[in-house]
Amino acid sequence: MTDGASHDSTSIVESLDIHNKHFPKVTKAAKNLLDDSAADDPTLKRVVENLFGIKLRCHVNPRRRKTLKEEELPKGMASLTPNGTLRCDADLEMDYRGKRQAVGYYYGPPRDEQNHNFCESCPLKSQCCHKTNTDGRHVIIPFAKLPNISTDDPPMAKRFQKLMKKRPSVERMIYRLKCTLGDRYLSKRGNSNYQASLVALHLIIPL
Ligand code: SF4
């Protein structure tokens, strides 16, 4: 790796290659590689899967797609991000429920942590839901509205989100290595102090 102005995504195959040379068992056992939206490139995903058998997972690069506004969406819906986050006119996030084969992505009414359905008491209900509706708003978004998303691995799905939650802990560790434990914070100079700091660092890493 160099400090040059190369795009983040260009380092992936090279890094995996080096990793594979040093730790082939780890590379072989790995199933997913979690990255940020800079790696959202179908060709790169294909190459990583073909060469290493690893699924490269990341959010859709928002630069490639715009958030859709209400005029492009079903009644009562205010916005749809490129990652499939759908918000209604009450500015609440619709609850992603899964795919309806050959039709689209299916969303149910917004819910709080106790699974309470917000539509029941929403002042906009009469404009948003049919008058016979007792379950709250349900919407299907056609696959074509979210062309950058893989229908087999949509980022709104709970399993995708559960996986991506692991990324911040890795980033926290990188921050610690780069900043908190950087040598500019060494209060004492000299080789032995520097080595002591490295030993301490290696003791901390597994924590
Ligand atoms: S009725 Fe439900 S979906 Fe419609 S705006 Fe109100 S909370 Fe949102």
pLDDT one-digit tens code per residue, 86-111:
999 999 999 999 999 889 999 999 99
pLDDT at res. 183 = 67
**Residues 53 and 72 occupy one common structural domain:** no
Ligand 1 midpoint to CA 75 (Å): 10
Q: Which of 58, 89, 106 is the last residue of a domain?
A: 58
DSSP 39: G
Separation of first and last alpha carbons in the chain:
27
Ligand 1 midpoint to CA 167 (Å): 32
Return the residue matching tokens 């016979």: 132
pLDDT at res. 2 = 58
**Residues 72 and 151 occupy one common structural domain:** yes
**Residues 74 and 146 occupy one common structural domain:** yes
In the chain, how many domains are there?
A: 3
Ligand 1 midpoint to CA 112 (Å): 13
Rounded to the nearest 10 degrees, the angle between the axes of helix 11-22 and helix 42-52 is 10
Ligand 1: nearest atom to the Cα of 88: 8
pLDDT at res. 116 = 92
Return the residue matching tokens 């900043």: 179
**Residues 174 and 114 occupy one common structural domain:** no
Question: How do residues 11-49 score in pLDDT, each as one tens digit?
Answer: 899 989 999 999 999 999 999 999 988 888 889 999 999
Question: How do residues 124-156 score in pLDDT, each as one tens digit?
Answer: 999 999 888 889 999 999 999 998 888 888 999
Residue 114 corresponds to which tokens in the numbers above? 């106790």
Residue 195 corresponds to which tokens in the numbers above? 């080595």
Which phi and psi (to 5°) does residue 141 adopt? -100, 120
